A and B are shown apart, each in its own frame.
Chain A
């Protein structure tokens, strides 16, 4: 690795789209516009940075004199597209970390819900089956909270954080009943749903939460905060349910329990829990802050792939709904 490669890193770009004859790149805190040629250079730089290729290679690819490459890097850093690894603080307080998290949460959620499934559903190109499949998986995800929430209490070390995590569990553990009510309104029986098994990516989501719970209570809590971030107020979730009910003939009785569940989350102020936990963290090393952030972003990516898995499975009419466990005697 050359010193430049060790020095610079690429900032996360949440969206890149053509605009005004060039490209518009959306970062968490700004939008950067690049001409087509500069965008091409930028892409070459970001794929070169984590590679074993030397600076001569990059200079050749860019058609730029080697001596000018560092200046170009500096320009990209000034625009916000690159950053210097050494500029990161060596430590921060829990509340400083929360401020950083809050500043990127909106971008993370837009990434998590950028899957084409949502546009398809809202545009009337989905189906009641897809809506129902999503609900079945939400039922499993919510029931599986019992696999990870108590684990996060077991692995927490500080008493005040243990308390907060336990209180959250006590408030949430049986919320899967809301989804059961919805599914019953859609014609399913309780034993049929209770005996069913989740899709692999639904299971993966709770297994990832279990991994986070064992790793670090803050890693777990950021994942929980990302999920709670989707339910801060009714305006974020109502349009999807309202539109689906209208487009796909979903009975009101199937939607009401979902609203009741979401309203309860708002009432409990679960979206503030992460901040309450971080108040009890006087300092975080850069390494811990990086790890915790990374868990949060991995959760975002899990949500995207979860949506993908749900769409791919339930759009096939012949796939069983709900899914039953394998039984050698009958399968």
Chain B
């Protein structure tokens, strides 16, 4: 989303900030200067300042540390507080600036508000996953056989692990989340078999069942299992990020997935049955209406404290990093160690 803040700064707009608010340029925001313009980017938001606004921001930038109140900054810079306040409020509205408070006001966030914040951040965090080079390698036919078959095995292991993390989540569920997590487990625990059916076109059932996931896949599953033990909402906030990659309900996302499968069939004809199983799984998920599950959960939870919000968003962010690790593991590990399927040790194997 792009916002432009122009030369004319309102000087007497009705203020929404408080005297003790402490403006902070959000961590991770980048500031670039081009031809007199200032471009501030954060997540998917972008603000372009020009003229007086750009000049004022130049003076202000070093003070946006979350430690100094707006009036104190104005005094330090010899600027009118109202003018300064107008700029920081616009930057706050655009999402690049936060306002810390000198007092902990203990404000709560409703579940539905949390759903929106979570969704916005997850869409941003997933960008690196969608940009991972393995996708291009598989669609252009440059991925090796080990990477392609490995991808199918790792997907199988991840989906099959519903037994582990969804079981733990349901068994440790908070009262409001229990019906959702129970339903989710019951709907998902057979889905590993959909992938196993595809793999059986190439490998004996016993080999598939005994095969070992990569450490990176194990990392993803273990992270899900660990978060399932510590908090129902934060666990599902992480799981929802993963679910967002499967929900291909809209036309654009659906077409991208169809194109991916077509390219795989073209370059790797032996994956035909595997791809049938991938598609069967996507359809099974869509039929279950999982796309709405998280919203229903958020609607049912009591208002969240700042700590609960942060816990849940940290799990979601970590999950995005683990998903990237999952992709990276397939790409890198199968490139260096091309053995697939990965069979477990026995007393003579070493």
Binding site for B on A (CB under 8 A): 1, 5, 9, 11-12, 28, 46, 50-52, 83, 85, 87-89, 92, 100, 104, 107-108, 199-201, 203-204, 207-208, 210-211, 286, 289-291, 293-294, 296-298, 301-302, 304-305, 308-309, 312, 324-331
Contacts and interface: CB of A to CB of B under 8 A. Distances in A.
Interface string B148-192: 000000000000000000000000000000000000000000000
A100 B350 CA distance: 9
B347 A1 contact: no
A200 B318 contact: yes
Nearest to A9: B349
A290 B218 contact: no
B212 A204 contact: no
A1 B205 CA distance: 10
Interface of B: 24, 26-28, 66, 98, 100, 117, 200-204, 206-207, 212, 214-216, 218-219, 222-223, 225-226, 306, 309-310, 313-314, 317-318, 321-322, 324-325, 328-329, 332-333, 336, 339, 341, 343-350
A207 B314 contact: no
A328 B117 contact: yes
Contacts of B215: 201, 204, 208, 298, 301-302, 304-305
Nearest to B30: A318
B322 A200 contact: yes
A88 B348 contact: yes
Contacts of A291: 344
Question: Nearest 8 CB-CB pairs, A to B?
Answer: A204-B219, A207-B222, A293-B345, A294-B345, A104-B350, A290-B346, A302-B215, A294-B344
Contact of A326 (B216, B314, B324, B325): B314
Contacts of B225: 207, 211
Given A12-B345, A100-B350, 4 more contacts: A293-B346, A293-B347, A301-B214, A328-B313
A11 B349 contact: yes
Contacts of A108: 350
Nearest to B343: A50
A1 B202 CA distance: 11
A87 B219 CA distance: 34
Contact of A88 (B98, B310, B346): B346
Contacts of B339: 46
